[in-house]
Amino acid sequence: MSPPRTPREPNTPSLAVNRYPCEIRFQNLAFHVPKSGDGGLAILSDVTGVCAAKRMVAVMGPSGAGKSTLLKILACNVSGGELQGQIMVNGTAVHPKVFKNQSAVVWQSDVLLASATVKEALMTSALLKLPQSMSRARKEERVEQILTELELQGVKNHMIGEDVDGAVSGISGGERRRVSVGIGLVTDARAIFLDEPTTGLDSDSAEQLISLLSHLATHKHRTIVLTIHQPSSDICERFDDLILLSSGRMLYCGPWPEADNYFATAGFERPGYRSTAEHILTLCKDKEYAVPFLAGQYAKSLIDQQLTRLDSQASMGALGLGLKRGGSVGRLSRHNSITGGTEAGKPLARGGSLVIDLEAQAVASPQPGSAPATISALAARHMVAGALQSVPSNALLPDDIPSTSQPHVALEEVATSQWYQVHVLSVRFLRSWYRCPTNLAIQAGQYIFFALLIGATYWRLSGTVTGGAFDRHASLWFVASCMVLQPGNNACTIMYSQKPLLRREISNGLYHYSSFFIAKSLTSLPFQLMFACIFTGSVYFLVGYQISLVKFFLFFALNFELLLISETLGILCAGLARNELVGMIILATFYVPLLMFTGFIQTHTPVYLAWIKKLSYVAYGYSGLVKNEFEGLSISTAQGMHVPDATALIAPNIENGLSIGTDALIMLGILVGMRFVAYIQMTLAIKFHKL
């Protein structure tokens, strides 16, 4: 075993000592996910323990043990299942929104913005998560500090780039991992949760990272909770505490150095040739014997502590109870005043009568081969769920876990203002646009291509009724179609590409969705305007519509409205389904009725389908475009007769009897309404974890 190394001292004071260390206690946590056929799959059962303040706890266990699930639950970031139990932060029931603001999570997979540089990624996180009152210079200083600590100085100005199935076009996989960790560390989080932070790092980088985390816990008073697989002995030396899980049950929660003794006392001595990490993981593999036994043993240790505490309280006459210990049946009955009751504790409702039967087998020492599951269940049902809530919370801890003496800290919500978030996100959106000129060029090229195609097909329209009238109708229909299909598809695809980062950042409490929505809408507007100008400017003069500034302006305005509504439709469809293919299919399904009921392809609209036409923004846009072109158009018949105004040639199913201004106003109303629906829809998706 190598000698313990001194954690590196940070060379700047930017990572200030956290004035409010936080201790996280969790009682009787159970998490079930719905499963077709039966009552659901239990991922965690009756998990009770503590993540002590100013310490680093390693959550270990075999794959599928529930480590990440526990981490998500403690970080108030779990979804998709039913959670029972209680989490206390410094003795107060956790307030998820506040706690999210005061903690940081580093997930197992890296979700990073490809178009940002390493420093920008950390800086955005610092700007959005650190208090607005802190100066930008101090935030930069903190970012530089983290870059140094994580050895990212060399690549700080490199673009992060994509990592598509291992084909990296930017920084390396290990560097991406460190950037993710840095994003979590850069905030002034009191608790930092990391899901397998060392995965993908070489042994030196892994050790260095763990060393930094240990330093943050000990010297900067952060509570560090991390999951880890098979750590090296050097890394293990840095751990203060261990939480050992197997099959969703707690096997041990206590100081790391005591783990060997604990398991040895339970009859599972560590052979000399195995490290502690190897030994405990070997124990977890024995699901027939060691796992149920250790789970029972852990539950019993909770019972013993509770009994000791109740005993001493009873002997002091505090509870006025008679209580026998040591394997005999004890009956405890009193009125309690439980506050913040858990699901599991529901039968023991507030102010209700609490009756606890401690059955003989529950308190008897479990022998190897006995039924520890029963003990665990009894412990959970009788002890943790109810009785323990009425006594000081440190009764839950194994005796040797240091308990914090932190007072209940009033947690205030530290968040940046909405407009500040909009500002930071707008800068990031704009940077993404100009950092990826190819994306811009491809979209602009697409519009130019369609304009040229329509222009070449309908080049210099005929001035006769025979060919000119139909070709005008047809070319305008294609123009309208381009303003529907392309923006819709592009917006839907872009939204899907932004969703993972949005999901991650929203769940980490970086900003509100409204800020993202406003910033996205504002920053995409100039580019959409540019695309509309390129397209309408090219097609209008190539096809040869009426030469009039007013008419061109109306042509542009109607097309721009079509484009913006279609963009909104794309965003809406991206919010309706989590799967991109499904989203695109939904969008395509909208296109058919939208384009069908413009009046160009059908000569009449059946009464029972008239509502589609009424709702179709494309019908209003197309009707407006046709009226704009035909009104005042001078055209001649086959016989050479001159018609000064071609309005009468507008197909009856296209003429909706409204003025062009009214068409434009209705479309504006539809645009505002659809933007609102898209916003609400995405907000609900976030709220119900369906983003």
What residue 66 binds from Mg ion, ligand ATP, none (CB within 5 to 8 A, per partner kind)? ligand ATP
Smallest distance, ligand ATP to C-beta of residue 41, A: 6
Sign of torsion over alpha carbons 69, 74, 80, 84: positive
Contact 303, 318 (CB under 8 A): no
Smallest distance, ligand ATP to C-beta of residue 72, A: 8
DSSP category for residue 355: E
Sign of torsion over alpha carbons 331, 332, 335, 341: negative
Q: Name which of 213 and 284 has its Cβ closer to ligand ATP.
A: 284
What residue 131 binds from ligand ATP, Mg ion, none (CB within 5 to 8 A, per partner kind)? none
Amino acid 234 reads D
Smallest distance, ligand ATP to C-beta of residue 391, A: 30
Smallest distance, ligand ATP to C-beta of residue 442, A: 37
**What are the residues facing 335 on neighbouring strands?**
353
**Rounded distance between C-alpha atoms, residue 108 and residue 89, angstroms:** 24
Smallest distance, ligand ATP to C-beta of residue 169, A: 27
**What are the residues facing 193 on neighbouring strands?**
105, 225
* The pair of three-digit structure tokens given for residue 140, joined into one six-digit string: 């930069």
Sign of torsion over alpha carbons 571, 573, 575, 577: negative
Inter-axis angle of helices 118-129 and 418-435, nearest 10: 170
Q: Name which of 65 and 461 has its Cβ closer to ligand ATP.
A: 65
Q: Name which of 73 and 596 has its Cβ closer to ligand ATP.
A: 73
Q: Name which of 69 and 214 has its Cβ closer to ligand ATP.
A: 69
68 near Mg ion (CB under 5 A): yes
65 near ligand ATP (CB under 6 A): yes
DSSP category for residue 406: P
Smallest distance, Mg ion to C-beta of residue 67, A: 5
What residue 615 binds from Mg ion, ligand ATP, none (CB within 5 to 8 A, per partner kind)? none
What residue 28 binds from ligand ATP, Mg ion, none (CB within 5 to 8 A, per partner kind)? none
* The pair of three-digit structure tokens given for residue 493, joined into one six-digit string: 């695809």
80 near ligand ATP (CB under 6 A): yes
Angstrom CA distances, 209 to 48, 198, 532, stand at 28, 8, 50
**Angle (CA) 162 164 165, round 5°:** 145
Judged by CB under 5 A, the stretch of 61-69, 111-119, 321-329, 478-486 that binds Mg ion is 61-69
Scored b (16 or more CB within 10 A) or e, 303-314 reads bebbbebbeebb
Question: Among the residues of 508-546, which ranges form H helices?
Answer: 513-543
* The pair of three-digit structure tokens given for residue 406, joined into one six-digit string: 């932190």
Three-state secondary structure call for residue 391: coil
**Rounded distance between C-alpha atoms, residue 495 and residue 521, angstroms:** 12
Q: Name which of 194 and 383 has its Cβ closer to Mg ion.
A: 194
Q: Name which of 120 and 196 has its Cβ closer to Mg ion.
A: 196
What residue 575 binds from ligand ATP, Mg ion, none (CB within 5 to 8 A, per partner kind)? none
**Rounded distance between C-alpha atoms, residue 130 and residue 135, angstroms:** 10
Q: Name which of 229 and 324 has its Cβ closer to ligand ATP.
A: 229
Judged by CB under 6 A, the stretch of 65-73, 436-444, 461-469, 635-643 that binds ligand ATP is 65-73
Judged by CB under 6 A, the stretch of 57-65, 262-270, 504-512, 677-685 that binds ligand ATP is 57-65
Q: Judged by CB under 6 A, how many residues of this single chain contact ligand ATP?
A: 13
Q: Name which of 66 and 341 has its Cβ closer to Mg ion.
A: 66
Q: Name which of 41 and 680 has its Cβ closer to ligand ATP.
A: 41
Smallest distance, ligand ATP to C-beta of residue 568, A: 31
Sign of torsion over alpha carbons 682, 686, 688, 691: positive
Q: Of 9-48, which residues contact ligand ATP (CB under 6 A)?
A: 33, 41, 43
Q: Of 658-687, which residues contact ligand ATP (CB under 6 A)?
A: none
With the CA atoms of 217, 221, 223 and 228 taken in that order, what torsion angle do they form, in degrees rounded to the nearest 10? Answer: -10
What residue 500 binds from Mg ion, ligand ATP, none (CB within 5 to 8 A, per partner kind)? none
Smallest distance, Mg ion to C-beta of residue 179, A: 20
Judged by CB under 6 A, the stretch of 67-75, 152-160, 539-547, 591-599 that binds ligand ATP is 67-75
**Rounded distance between C-alpha atoms, residue 599 and residue 651, angstroms:** 8
Q: Which member of 28, 30, 52, 66 binds ligand ATP (CB under 6 A)?
A: 66
Q: Name which of 61 and 624 has its Cβ closer to ligand ATP.
A: 61
Residue 76: half-sphere exposure toward Cβ, Cα within 13 Å = 23
Judged by CB under 5 A, the stretch of 60-68, 164-172, 238-246, 261-269 that binds Mg ion is 60-68
**Angle (CA) 266 268 270, round 5°:** 130
Q: Judged by CB under 5 A, how many residues of this single chain contact Mg ion?
A: 1
Smallest distance, Mg ion to C-beta of residue 42, A: 17
Q: Which member of 55, 67, 178, 520 binds ligand ATP (CB under 6 A)?
A: 67
Smallest distance, ligand ATP to C-beta of residue 124, A: 28
With the CA atoms of 656, 659, 662 and 664 taken in that order, what torsion angle do they form, in degrees rounded to the nearest 10? Answer: 90
Q: Order the strands of the 92-93 sheet from edge to edge.
A: 38-51, 24-35, 82-89, 92-93
What residue 43 binds from ligand ATP, Mg ion, none (CB within 5 to 8 A, per partner kind)? ligand ATP
Q: Name which of 43 and 650 has its Cβ closer to Mg ion.
A: 43
Q: Which member of 28, 45, 48, 68 binds ligand ATP (CB under 6 A)?
A: 68
The contacts of residue 138 (CB under 8 Å, 6+ apart) are: 14
For 535-649, strand residue ranges (E) read 635-636, 642-643
What residue 254 binds from Mg ion, ligand ATP, none (CB within 5 to 8 A, per partner kind)? none
Judged by CB under 6 A, the stretch of 63-71, 233-241, 421-429, 604-612 that binds ligand ATP is 63-71
Smallest distance, Mg ion to C-beta of residue 504, A: 16
198 near Mg ion (CB under 5 A): no
What residue 290 binds from Mg ion, ligand ATP, none (CB within 5 to 8 A, per partner kind)? none
* The pair of three-digit structure tokens given for residue 252, joined into one six-digit string: 């041990």
What residue 318 binds from ligand ATP, Mg ion, none (CB within 5 to 8 A, per partner kind)? none
Q: Which residue is nearest to Mg ion (CB)?
A: 68
429, containing H or E segment: helix 418-435
Scored b (16 or more CB within 10 A) or e, 402-438 reads bbbebeebebeebbbeeeebbebbbebbbbbeebeee
* The pair of three-digit structure tokens given for residue 564, joined into one six-digit string: 């913006």
**Rounded distance between C-alpha atoms, residue 99 and residue 57, angstroms:** 18
Of 612, 457, 470, 477, the closest CA to residue 543 belongs to 457
What residue 80 binds from Mg ion, ligand ATP, none (CB within 5 to 8 A, per partner kind)? ligand ATP
What residue 487 binds from Mg ion, ligand ATP, none (CB within 5 to 8 A, per partner kind)? none
Greatest alpha-carbon pair distance for the chain in Å reads: 116
Q: Which residues bind Mg ion (CB under 5 A)?
A: 68
Q: Which residues bind ligand ATP (CB under 6 A)?
A: 33, 41, 43, 61, 63-69, 80-81
